[in-house]
Structure 1
């Protein structure tokens, strides 16, 4: 099998690594001296391999992976590993916090919705026919406290979709593993002031706190009006940053714009929500979840965000 590529180059004051994963262009920035290129290449490879591993394990588009086997064995209790347990526990908490609006069983709606910028809306009857197969409360889930995994009962005909968590989780994991490898390479003497690393998976970011002499990371929030153009620049010193919005996935019919975020209770896009929500939080997973939960509040998004106490940015 062909080895996937990670391209590392020197960009004036740091290393930039580029690779593709999860249908997105991905980058890793490493604030290492130029003479440490071999270390930069090693760290970038470690991070990319972790992203690819998560993609291979949980992608809903692969017929031969772990996630596919969960669906092939629907209708019976199944044992799942500790990592999957953590993700499903997180999804369960998100479902409860959102009052059922964040629901990893709603991905089945992609069968009738295609957010390709066209004006093609699905048949309302086709949407309605899928609603009985949506609802996390229909899934049997038993999480064990011994960290050894859990038990899942997925009813026949239902689907799980971790697309709302996958990239953010991968960004956090990639950063964590790269930092572990960096600390091992530099030794304990420099562990308190590790050089800055930033993982960018298609706009979902995770970064460590750079040494005091290093400037914060400057990152752009994508414009909702002009594709591939930043509307504003932010400074990120550590933690996660994630954006949820409809700048790339939407429909326009009879002058009305339909964003890709669907209400699992109706099967239709949420109305009166901001075009884009960006949130900064201690981890990328937290950032992505809060951004999604905010959009799910519709016109009450900003009220919800203010209550979180986290930094956020809205685009109408």
Structure 2
């Protein structure tokens, strides 16, 4: 069955659609619609764009409420749900910590800058009305980076399905949504490699596991995407809003879920849970593969097939 590849850039990185079993002209038209949807979401919610709704909300912090549409309100309510489920660890006001942490310099933040950034974190100070949102204090910000790409991946899959595409793999910078009917006899799973968080020097692109995915979302969070090393210790970009400091217990966590948004939220919260990650994922009924600080691998899902010899300390699937 023919698979057509459509590549583009959005949300700061490379993206692609793999469309299977769709004719060339139909596939191209469908891909264009889905790419337009991804770019619509980026234009609307990116904190990097001055006219986005997120930027307007942030500029009005401590001053006025900003009118929002239903889509924005629903995403804000989703952020509220994640904040509550994570006991405050998933907080979309914590993006201000980037003003203290510079992952382009091999230096830790000053205590003053870290304290100043932490003083402006607090989801409980975000007030959401029927059609308005207000940040209580000047200097506060919200950032949809914790689920924006995943939401865009799911929306792209919806657009493709509405256009008549039955089998597709949406990949937005590693956040994936597989579109298909797993019960169909003709459905061929997508084979997806999960990046090794500590690959051998000779094989920098080595994978640690392979996933066969017919339908649903897959997301991975790890300490290898952006980090600095100071005095031999790694400090990654995943920051605990309650302490202001990076997580350190897991190298990476991958999660399978019904859609990319859920998978991304689960893996991010799990990284932030640190020692409590596995118990929390189990309590959520999530299918996961977790690579611990020492490189040991733990999974509870048969969909994850270990591929790296570096994963020799993997445990058997958990009950």
For Structure 1 versus Structure 2, the TM-score category normalised by the shorter chain is: 0.7 to 0.9
Structure 1 counterpart of 2:153, from 152, 166, 171: 171
Q: Please report how far the alpha carbon of residue 62 of structure 1 lies from its aligned counterpart in structure 2 after TM superposition.
A: 1.3
Structure 2 counterpart of 1:291, from 238, 244, 267: 267
RMSD: 1.5
Structure 2 counterpart of 1:43, from 14, 23, 30: 30
Structure 2 counterpart of 1:275, from 251, 258, 276: 251
Structure 2: give runs of 5+ residues left out of the alignment: 293-319
Runs of 4+ aligned residues of structure 1 deviating over 6 Å after TM superposition are none
Q: What residue number does 2:121 align with?
A: 134
Q: Secondary structure at the match of 1:160?
A: coil
State yes or no: 1:90 paired with 2:78. Answer: yes
List per-residue Cα deviations over 1:184-234 (Å, max 9, x = no partner).
xxxxxxxxxx63111010110111224421311111111112344322211
Q: Distance in 2 between matches of 1:134 and 1:195?
A: 43
Q: Secondary structure at the match of 2:114?
A: helix
User: After the TM superposition, which residues 1-316 of structure 1 pair with which residues of structure 2 at under 5 Å, given as runs?
Assistant: 13-33=2-22, 36-74=23-61, 75-116=63-104, 118-142=105-129, 144=130, 150-155=131-136, 156-182=138-164, 195-210=166-181, 211-226=184-199, 227-271=204-248, 273-316=249-292
List per-residue Cα deviations over 1:235-265 (Å, max 9, x = no partner).
1111111111111111111111112111111
Q: Please report how far the alpha carbon of residue 151 of structure 1 lies from its aligned counterpart in structure 2 after TM superposition.
A: 2.1
Structure 1: give runs of 5+ residues left out of the alignment: 1-11, 145-149, 183-193
Q: Distance in 2 between matches of 1:175 and 1:209?
A: 10
Report the number of matched residues: 284
Q: Distance in 2 between matches of 1:284 and 1:251?
A: 28
List per-residue Cα deviations over 1:260-305 (Å, max 9, x = no partner).
111111211123x211011001111100001011111112211211
